[in-house]
Amino acid sequence: SDEAGLATPLALAVKQLGSPSDDEIERLEEFVDESLYQGNSTDRRRFLQSSVDHAVRLSMTFWSDEMQRQGSSQGRAAAAAAPLLAQTCRRCWPDRCPWNECWSEQHSLESWRAYNYPHVTAVYWSLYRLGRRFRPARVRRHGWRWYLQRALGTAMGMWEHGGEVFPHEQQRVAGRAWSKVGNGQGTAQWGLMVGSIFESLLLDLLLEGWANEAAELQQVMERRVHRWLSMPFPYGSEFAWDNTGHEEIATWLLAYGHGAQAAQTADAVSAYTSLSPHWAYCGSPAPRGGLC
């Protein structure tokens, strides 16, 4: 996820399904209500996800002109809370920062990157199962239906809000919207890291008898599968050099009976992975961070 702070709740949520802890579950539910989901709050900026349309912002972290001023209250607070971030941003703000550092608040609130939606879906789905599959239910703040609805809304939000990887610079400067956002364009058409959670969600919607909701999600996923099958190589991610899409693509191809294409996706991984059992040997992928 673009929001690095989401990694811990994601891991903690999935962990509960095999080794639940009441204290950890309470912390997860607190995280959902106070940091993740906007709920009835009118302050969108305090939350990762909107309660209006399930849009997931890029990150809770941002930089500003006020933080840039070392003597200001915000500048002192930022330096105390995140000294390395302050050191980095004060060297490059406002127009010399790399694309992945020191985002403005406006940029942090953008919701176009589909990659950010499976992680949030997995948190809700895990809490749904803790409320539905355990007796007594292990969740307290919301019922299992609420968590299942949030998981579904987030999965559909991926399709609704996903868009181009980057806007044209002139559009960013002018403050205009991108030409390709929503309806499966841009990042929403590719496989996503942790995207296999969508199949688990679909199966549970069917199991619960939520036929209309399941049909809506299934239609979206089938459109994505159709896109992959139209390609000479049925795999891909938002970046040509990335391999994060392989997991979800293979999952859905197998689910819809396209075994040969799923095998081709797995073969692609084997082709660029060294036979030596060591993470540092990457084979042929471009040497970009995290690909090994």
pLDDT digits (tens, 9 = 90+) for 134-148: 999 999 999 999 999
Residue identified by tokens 């690909």 is 291
- The tokens of 13 are what? 């949520």
Query: Which letter does DSSP use for residue 37 in this model?
Result: B
Residues 62 and 3 sit within 8 Å (Cβ to Cβ): no
Mean per-residue pLDDT pooled into runs of 10, the chain (292 residues): 85 96 98 97 96 95 96 97 96 92 92 93 98 97 98 96 63 49 79 94 98 97 93 75 84 95 86 63 50 48
Give CA–CA dist 151/121, Å, rounded.
Answer: 5
Q: Euclidean distance between the first and final Cα of the chain, in Å? A: 17
Residues 246 and 265 sit within 8 Å (Cβ to Cβ): yes
Q: Up-side HSE of residue 19: CA atoms within 13 Å toward CB? A: 3
Give CA–CA dist 290/110, Å, rounded.
Answer: 24
User: pTM for the whole thing?
Assistant: 0.89
